[in-house]
Amino acid sequence: MQALKIMKQFMEPQSVALVGVSRYTGEEAFNILENLLSYGYRGKIYPINPSVSEILGVKTYSSVAEVADDIDLAVIATPRALVPQLVKECADSNIKAIEIVAQGFLDASDEEGKQLQKEVDNIAKASQARILGPNTFGTANAFVNFSSTFIKIKMKKRPIGIICQTGAFFVGFSEMAFIGKGIDLANGCDISFPEGLEYFENDSETKVVALHIEGMQDTKAFVDMSRDIARKKPILALKTGQSQQAAKAVQSHTGSVTGRKEVWQAAFKQAGVIQASDLEELIDLVRTFSVLPLMKKSKIGIATISGALGVMAIDASQNFDIGIDALSPKTQKLLSMMAPSWLKVSNPVDIWPIMIESQPVVKPLIDGLEALLADQNLGAVLFIGAAFDEKWGTGLCQLLSELAIAHQDKPLICSIYGPSAGQAIKEMQDAGKVVGFPTPERAIKALARLNEYSRLRSGL
């Protein structure tokens, strides 16, 4: 319980001391205070800088000792040599949650780095303070408009919790803000995956937990915890550093021990953690699992405006082991009645020849998707379509979101090509009902993993 309480101070601080914050602001100043003010954080902020009396209109203090109120979290952003003394001051002021932003500890190649780390360890051990980092981007929480990052990030109240060993996940990928809540363990000298997992297990705002793992000390504790949590919330993991050469690079990044690839694969499998094969898949899975419901059946139905991309979906279904079977006679009949006589309706359903003979063209698309979504034998529906321009893209997003709302228990996923595909996919993600991908293969791959997890949860 003590660890969970301190994790809440890291994630939902009501007061934060910014130790060593600079008087310089604006571009290239990377000023944590300036960023924090821009998010609209409502907690108390205590900038610690002995050289000035205020920064950006906020009163500064010469040290944390000078602050009379309780401080939930201290963020230390100074050159590394000053860090041990400042950690000591924080611990002496009874601050329990401390982030160290500086680099050059276990990630450094010199002896001084190791020595500094030892000093920090000893201070933490002697007090009850917990350390996040060093070399950390800190924590972020869109639900309270808080982040301790020195780069200004975009957050969004998404039900996604990320535990990572790099700030890149805070900065984001694919032009979408992923950070609902994030913890950058970085070097992970103290706070590590178990503490992060415990926080997200107990956090009602988080539905999906994503992990970026370079290495950790206690994999057994991790597997044991994950096994329990994965039965309640999906855990999606990317394990990097899969070769000797990569292990060396990890050493100078976070100083972690990487472990063997096969051991990790077995551990994830045992724990029920869904392992992503690369960064792109992790992002795809986070997007998918945070929006779509679980699959109640394993087979999927596909409607496509491009026969060629339907063929690609079938190819992918074979590679990622998810079934595209014949449609039920009822669905088959319903769709055949709409189609031109020469068109043999099968799965994938070639919907374009039906659309092109209709006014408006989207009517058969809606009816066709309705038929697939209503089919009790299908566990999910994939639509392959195009955003020919912005208007088409927005129209598709609306149409698909409405269908998804009417069929909340069945995942509706899509693959969108065309000049406005990226915009349409982003709009869908923001609407939060349907998930879109730029190619059918990626949509199929994501569905295959959703199916895998759905089977785990249903005990099959």
Pick the piece of the chain touching its own copies (CB under 8 A) from 12-20, 201-209, 245-253, 327-335: 245-253
Pick the piece of the chain touching its own copies (CB under 8 A) from 1-9, 118-126, 221-229, 355-363: 355-363
Single out the residue of 224, 99, 91, 109 nearest to residue 170, CA to CA. 99
Q: Which is nearer to its own copies, 195 or 441 (CB)?
A: 441
Q: What is the DSSP letter of 29?
A: T
Q: Which of residues 390-429 bind its own copies (CB under 8 A)?
A: 417-423
Residue holding tokens 């705002």? Answer: 205
Rounded distance, CA 399 to CA 101, Å? 46
Taking the complex as a whole, the smallest distance from the CB of residue 422 to its own copies amounts, in Å, to 5
Q: Which is nearer to its own copies, 267 or 294 (CB)?
A: 267
Tokens of 267: 């551990």
Taking the complex as a whole, the smallest distance from the CB of residue 61 to its own copies amounts, in Å, to 25
Pick the piece of the chain touching its own copies (CB under 8 A) from 42-50, 63-71, 363-371, 432-440: 432-440
Q: Please work out, in degrees rounded to the nearest 5, the angle formed at the alpha carbon of residue 307 by the alpha carbons of 302 and 311.
A: 70
Rounded distance, CA 396 to CA 424, Å? 7
Q: Is 252 in the site for its own copies (CB under 8 A)?
A: yes
Tokens of 101: 């932003």
Q: Which is nearer to its own copies, 106 or 235 (CB)?
A: 106
Tell me how far CA of residue 63 lies from CA of 32, 45, 60, 212, in angstroms: 17, 13, 9, 35
In three-state secondary structure terms, 237 is strand
Pick the piece of the chain touching its own copies (CB under 8 A) from 47-55, 226-234, 339-347, 449-457: 339-347
Per CB under 8 A, the list member of 438, 452, 456, 457 interacting with its own copies is: 438
Per CB under 8 A, the list member of 59, 248, 330, 333 interacting with its own copies is: 248
Per CB under 8 A, the list member of 245, 262, 408, 409 interacting with its own copies is: 245
Asked whether the beta carbons of 179 and 172 are under 8 A apart, the reply is yes
Per CB under 8 A, the list member of 15, 78, 346, 394 interacting with its own copies is: 346
Residue 42-81 contact track with its own copies, rule CB under 8 A, x = bound:
--------------------------------------x-
Q: What is the DSSP letter of 252?
A: T
Rounded distance, CA 201 to CA 211, Å? 13
Asked whether the beta carbons of 100 and 87 are under 8 A apart, the reply is yes
DSSP letters along 161-181, please?
Answer: EEEESSTHHHH-BTTB---SE
Per CB under 8 A, the list member of 179, 441, 447, 449 interacting with its own copies is: 441
Q: In the beta sheet, which residues pair with residue 184?
A: 164
Contacts with its own copies by CB under 8 A: the residue count is 82
Q: Which is nearer to its own copies, 9 or 35 (CB)?
A: 35
Pairing between strand 58-59 and 54-55? Answer: antiparallel
Q: Which of residues 97-156 bind its own copies (CB under 8 A)?
A: 103-104, 107-110, 112-113, 151-152, 154
Q: Which of residues 372-391 bind its own copies (CB under 8 A)?
A: 386, 388
Taking the complex as a whole, the smallest distance from the CB of residue 245 to its own copies amounts, in Å, to 5
Residue holding tokens 């990622």? Answer: 320
Per CB under 8 A, the list member of 156, 431, 439, 457 interacting with its own copies is: 439
